[in-house]
Structure 1
Amino acid sequence: MAGQVTDEAGSKRARGLDRAFEILEYLRAHRQPIRPNELAIAMEAPRSSIYELVNLLLRHGMLEYSGGDGRVYLGRKLYFLGNAYSDHFDLMRECDISLTHLAEQTRETAQMCLLEGNKYTVAMMREGLRPFHISSAVGELVSIPWTASGRLLIGHMSDQEILDFIPPEDFVLPNGRHLDPAQFIAEVRAATADGFFTFNSVVENYTYCFAVPVHQADGTPIATLCLVTPREDGLKHREAYLDRLLSEARDLSERLGYKPTPAIKRSSL
């Protein structure tokens, strides 16, 4: 009986911890303060548990009051935790250097992109030196099939794992066209074999996107380095931009312990 009680208490604490992380993630995704009762409605959670967790997160500095009327938002404690993470996690620091190199060398907008759950996000960005800037919202969650990086970040998954991972509605592109999952998977396999993916952006009509993977030691793609360019310039300088990206990504991957197989010569368009 005592063991059962202990198990139930541990399970309750785990559910509470999960819910606390869900609160933080909800605020990160929506980027605006919210009242706890509105949070409970949006998350379809009991108000009592949401109020209890919000108060706990407030006490620990993970949340702060913001905007009046009892609204809460992400707290400054998270900023310090993020700084500690950045100091420890070499990939972020090294990617920052790589993005600076790419932006200076190409004059284009350079990005480092990741998976966030079953979505894609731009984690870091350096704008190019052009008078006309192309930029994306860092941290915004985007459907994986809409992106060049998405074809590379899930290349280690099986076909069925990909279909289970991506929500069916995410195959509907911004223009309303439905992308056939079989076509998407074929593009994933081709991109993984090529070691890069380029295409006309489905989000911005005038841009051309480049993405190459950064691999961790076991070969899993952990991130991508990307360039987002005006379409005409991207096509004109496609080979040169790809060479820059591939070189930076290869160096990063090797510093993470990845041992690549001998490169296969690329064919140009």
Structure 2
Amino acid sequence: MDAISDEAGAKRARGLDRAFEILDFLRQKRQALKPNEIAAQIGAPRSSVYELVNLLLRNGILEFSGGEGRVYLGRKLYFLGAAYENHFDFTRECEAALDWLADETRETAQFCMLDGNKYTVVRMREGARPFRISTDIGQSVPIPWTASGRLLVAHMSDEEILAFIPPQDFRLPDGKWLDSAQFLAEVRRADADGFFTFNSIVDSFTHCFAVPVMGEEGHAAATLCLVAPRADGLANRERYLDCLKAAAARLGQAPTGAKRVLA
């Protein structure tokens, strides 16, 4: 009986893992897809994907969208997310920090974290400029492309970092390759300095600033960032860094219950 129970439990666990894989895949694709398209792209049996999609549809976690049987993330996820945010005071403190940074600097302010082995913007406030500097919230970006990435992996050894980041992520948007030794040296410098700034390697006109927000484990669990026009960023470098450090220090001192989101 125990062996049968263990086998059933393992099957349910695999089903949950696959369900989360489907949800995460749709989040990254940001478009409605047919179940057979999902199965093909995540390399899963069509039968199990159809079964899980139907289960998620019945529970409002997925919804039909775009016709022809396509599905996308359901509105119940919004309500679950809203309940999560209501539970953690940290979210409100984060919003306040971004509002203050955007008002103080007039630049785009971001709160960023790792999502698996990728970087993502979790929260953002656009600056008071006539042109828009922003990024898609929740979009996965290779760690080496970002200023924050140097800080978010700084607690790892060099070997752990290279095992953690997919080799292809060192290929930059222009097709050139970032030398891994250079990246590791920048990680160690960022860790020693407590910040990292550089001219963006994703576009040609912005300068990026990042400082760590320390989690309960004593390393950077998140970052606060500013994205500024290159000339303005370089001209105001020290002031912008002072603003970021002040905001990050306040977030790092958030109440213990609120900081669980950074654990």
Q: TM-score, normalised by structure 1?
A: 0.93
Partner of 1:107: 106
Partner of 2:162: 163
- The aligned residue for residue 219 of structure 2 is 220
- The gaps in structure 2 that reach 5 residues or longer are 257-263
**Residue by residue, what CA displacement relative to the aligned partner does 1:98-130 show, whole Å, maximum 9, x if unpaired?**
000000010000011110110001111100011
Q: Report if aligned partners of 2:133, 2:227 keep a CA contact under 8 Å in 1.
A: yes
Are the aligned partners of 1:213 and 1:221 in contact in 2 as well (CA < 8 Å)? yes
Alpha-carbon distance between aligned partners in 2 of 1:36 and 1:66, rounded to the nearest angstrom:
12
CA distance in 2, matches of 1:234, 1:123: 22
The residue that corresponds to 1:140 in the other structure is: 139
TM alignment of 1:1-269, pairs within 5 A: 2-255=1-254
**SS of residue paired to 1:149:** helix
Aligned-partner residue type, residue 4 of structure 1 = A
Find the aligned partners of 1:67 and 1:176 in 2 and give their Cα distance.
34
SS class of match (1:202) = coil
The offset of 1:222, in angstroms, is 1.3
Whether the 8 Å contact between 1:148 and 1:198 is mirrored in structure 2 is yes
Could you list the per-position Cα deviations for residues 30-87 of structure 1 after superposition, in whole angstroms to 9, with x for gaps in the alignment? 0111111111111111111001000100111100011111111000000000101111
What amino acid does structure 2 have at the position aligned with 1:30? K
User: 2:245 corresponds to which letter in structure 1?
Assistant: L
- Once the two structures are TM-superposed, the CA of residue 256 in structure 1 deviates from its matched residue by 5.1
* Partner Cα separation in structure 2 for residue 113 and residue 46 of structure 1: 34
Distance 1:88 1:185 in 2: 37
Q: Is the 8 A contact 1:122 1:140 kept in 2?
A: yes
Q: Distance in 1 between matches of 2:143 and 2:34?
A: 31
**Following the alignment from structure 1 to structure 2, what is the Cα–Cα distance between the partners of residues 13 and 138?**
32
SS at match of 1:156: coil
Identity of aligned pairs, percent?
65
Relative to structure 1, the CA distance from residue 137 to residue 31 in structure 2 (aligned partners, 3 Å threshold; closer, same or farther) is: same
Q: Deviations over 1:170-226 (max 9, x none)?
A: 011111221111111111111011110000000011000000010012212111000
Give the 4+ runs in structure 1 shifted more than 3 A: none
Tell me the amino acid that sits aligned with residue 222 of structure 1: A
Q: 1:92: Cα distance to partner?
A: 2.2
CA RMSD of aligned residues (A): 1.0
Contact kept? 1:215, 1:256, Cα under 8 Å: no
Length, aligned pairs only: 256
22-31 vs 84-93, greater mean Cα deviation? 84-93
Query: Does the 8 A contact of 1:216 with 1:256 survive in 2?
Result: no
- Alpha-carbon distance in 2 for matches of 1:93, 1:154: 26
Alpha-carbon distance in structure 1 between the residues aligned to 2:185 and 2:83:
40
> How many angstroms apart in 1 are the aligned matches of 2:107 and 2:26?
31
TM-score w.r.t. length of structure 2: 0.95
User: For 1:194 and 1:174, how far apart are their aligned partners in 2?
Assistant: 27
CA contact (8 A) 1:35 1:71 kept: yes
Q: Secondary structure at the match of 1:34?
A: coil
Structure with the greater relative contact order (CA < 8 A, sep ≥ 6): 1 or 2? Answer: 2
| 2:259 paired residue number | none
